[in-house]
Structure 1
Amino acid sequence: LSESDASRAPVDVMGLRFRNRIGLGAGFDKDGIAIGGWAALGFGFVELGTVTPRPQAGNPKPRLFRLADDEALVNRMAFNNLGADALASRIRDARGELPDGFVVGVNIGRNRDTPDDRAVDDYVAAVRSVAEVADYLALNVSSPNTPGLRDLQDPARLTELLTAVESVAMARPILVKLSPDLDPGELDALVAAVRDSPAAGLVLSNTTTERSGIRSPNAAEEGGLSGRPLRERMRGAVTRARHLAGTRLVIVASGGIGGDEPGVPPGADLAQLWTGMIYAGPGLIGETVRR
């Protein structure tokens, strides 16, 4: 995608200028290895991570599986990354080579061995490491691959987390990435909690543990499922959250973007590619941006 095509429809979201509305979702480049490469491919933004305060190896391999019949993936990576300080250094080194309007977000989680009652401390520590170099922050409270992580999807606990993170975020916009497995009442309560907090918005959504309707043999693998099967669930969550939040929250659509229905879905401000690019290749970026 040429620079002119990548920048032909800039938008202002969260007080940031995005050269276009299509980004790379978290989990593809956990450690910021190819920041400039994502810009060169035409993305408007990248969400690096998920990163934790301390380095960790994640789950043993194999931990990523194709479900080709469903245009889906199952992963049980479990936040393998080199740590927040290493990522901050990589972002700092890449900054001078990035085009105008290419936004760099950082997705943050907790270390697997951190006790549940100290989870907030992990997010605060990681934010302290990356806030200076990140354009925005995304809090991952919904990965199914870290035991206890989804317990943070409780309105009171999420409010506590957002209050703590906001105090060290250096005024960076904060997003919250939620699970697609929430029932409507749970989603409503969390959207309300985020709406009434200092956060800027939501990423909808993470991977699912559901397997209904999946045909591929690898469906039995443990982990979170991403790709085309999430599309309708994602669209429903975006529509519901927009209705509840009005214009107060930014919504980033993630899950099932691409294929025969690329682009930013109704109700969302931005969209992220991931699994769709695995199956369609990098040409999907330009196709989606042009929509």
Structure 2
Amino acid sequence: MAPPLGYDHHTTGYERRHTRRSVLAGIAAAGALGATGCSRVATASTTNGGELLDRLRAQGVVRLGIAGEIPFGYIGKDGRLTGEAPELARVVFKRLGIDRVQPVPTEFGSLIPGLNSQQFDVVAAGMYVTPDRCKQVIFADPDYQMLDSFVVRKGNPKGLHTFKDAVAKKAKCATGTGYAQIQHAVEAGYKESDILIVPDQVAGLNAVEAGRVDFFAGTAVTVRQVVGKSAKAEATKPFVPVVDGKPHIDGGAFAFRPTETRLRDAFNAELKKLRGSGELLRILRPFGFTKAEMTKLTAKELCGG
């Protein structure tokens, strides 16, 4: 079943439109500059009828649609584009003969419309591959997979390891605005009205530390990062959530316009090499990714093909 109109996020399930937390305010100016600076290039690339990969090689630059979300794709405090997807893009596109990447910041819900209206060349935002999105764009194979994890108080006093545990122990649950973990909690037996919805993982950590909830649910990478400097909280071991009654692992990938199969296939070929050599993990590790997030999932599997 497709999500209601107006829902969107990295995640699957209840995908709600929301302002991208963390750094959107900080990249507003960069976004304006990116949009202005790209207009002439976009016009040229849409009217000459050539293949995109050849045009990008000739231009020497590829425009990346990002959504200002740590750790996936964002503008750092130093004004530099970074994140797991942009850093991977730098390596892959360099190997494809394209020397530079240029950020085009936008809201997450505008990434697919922006891609298909040629505002940028590729989505580099760690976007989850879902069947609904596969009807609108084509995906590279995932560069990471993602499990769930909880922020709990030190020592995990209630022994929480999955949503099933949490429901059985009547633990108070919190998660973030638009997170897939809302659906995961509901499927396990929570009423959505009983879940504390907070703006982001920092607010979730604060709720756990203050004792307002027993746990905060998020992605394994998000949870690991947010507890890093906490003296009162820790992360649980990642686990596979349940979606539509079945264990489900999500995967994030680059997205391309449906006509750009040649570019997507070239990207996939380089990604496969990086995965095989272990360099993919080296690129993603600084953003909190571990061996547990490395995957052999394919876009075809996640698209339901």
Higher relative contact order (CA 8 A, sep 6+): 2
| TM-score (norm. length: structure 2) | 0.28
| TM-score (norm. length: structure 1) | 0.29
Larger radius of gyration: 2
